Amino acid sequence: MEKSFRLNNGLEIPSVGFGTWQTPDGDTAVKAVKCALADGYRHIDAAAVYANEASVGKGIAESGIPRQKIWVTSKVWNTDRGYDSTLRAFERTSKDLGLDCLDLYLVHWPASPSRFPNWKEINSDTWRAMERLVREGRVRSIGVSNFLPHHLDALLLNAEIAPAVDQIEYHPGFMQPGTVRYCKEHGIQVEAWSPLGTGRMLDNATLRLIAGKYGKSVAQICIRWALQHGVLPLPKSVTPSRIRENIQVFDFIISEEDMAAIDAMEYCGGSGLDPDKIDF
């Protein structure tokens, strides 16, 4: 298993990222990020709406690791969709993180037909701003998050730069096969948010049985399973022992039989957040 994936723009992205959703702002976030970087993570996944970007940026700055060795992602929030507001949102995020340039900037959620009659136009306007940020050298890659095939179809019609990434909810029990297939066919790297089902998968009997066979934790099985599917997991933790555990996933291989057993799991552990129905 490679330690990075190659994106459609030729850039190499470290194959396990450190999630910061629900990480409390302040000292906890600073320490978690520093701990992750000390343990070997070279990829930090942030977002404006997580309301902790200044602390995440402080953790990066205090880590002592040269900026260019760390992949940093952030996301434009839903209330900032549109051309001008996306550009303004980027400036705020850039200032909060203390970084002039980001490695990846994502549209956090698509505007959807159920709430916005002009959803295609909103997403395209947002995307034009994202493309401008690439041209101006403020971001190295752009992508989307929570986009389903119909959102991507509409976006690709007018896009000058194809999304490099789609970050979606993905974990055992919730594989989103249609979206993953679409992304593979279009050269879009899938990233997994909540690769542990925000902790909901940790007591799952099937996963516990398989984890026991390998002498690994359920969290490590979830992370490794995503990697073996070519999906980039973004586990979140504020607990030093778990942070370390979650990147120790390169010394074992889940057999084809066990991969298939995990793939066959019934729907479970999903957040229930449907990009076409969310009301935020």
Question: Hey, which residues are catalytic here?
Answer: 50
Compute the least distance from the CB of residue 55 to ligand A2P, in Å.
15
Per-residue DSSP letter, 232 = E
Query: CA–CA separation, 199 vs 54, rounded Å?
Result: 25
Q: Cβ 269 to ligand A2P, closest distance in Å? A: 9
* Residue 18 host element (H or E): strand 18-19
CB closer to ligand A2P out of 51 and 156: 51
Coil, strand or helix: which one is 15? coil
Phi, psi of 219 (to 5 degrees): -60, -45
Q: Which is nearer to ligand A2P, 133 or 165 (CB)?
A: 165
239: number of CA atoms within 13 Å, CB side? 6
Residues of the shown chain interacting with ligand A2P in the complex, contacts defined by CB under 6 A: 19, 194-199, 202, 217, 219, 235-239, 242, 245-246
Minimal distance, residue 217 CB to ligand A2P, in Å:
5
Helix (H), strand (E) counts: the chain: 10, 10
Q: Which two tokens stand for residue 13?
A: 């992205």
Query: Among candidates 168, 169, 163, 261, which has minimal Cα distance to 211?
Result: 261
- Of the pair 149, 270, the CB lying nearest ligand A2P is at 270
Find the shortest distance in angstroms from Cβ 220 to ligand A2P.
7
CA dist 220 and 252 (Å) reads 10
Q: How far is the CB of 33 from ligand A2P (least distance, A)?
A: 13
10 Å Cβ neighbour count for 185?
A: 9
Q: How far apart are CA 13 and CA 175, in angstroms?
A: 21
> Which lies closer to ligand A2P via its Cβ, residue 70 or residue 192?
192
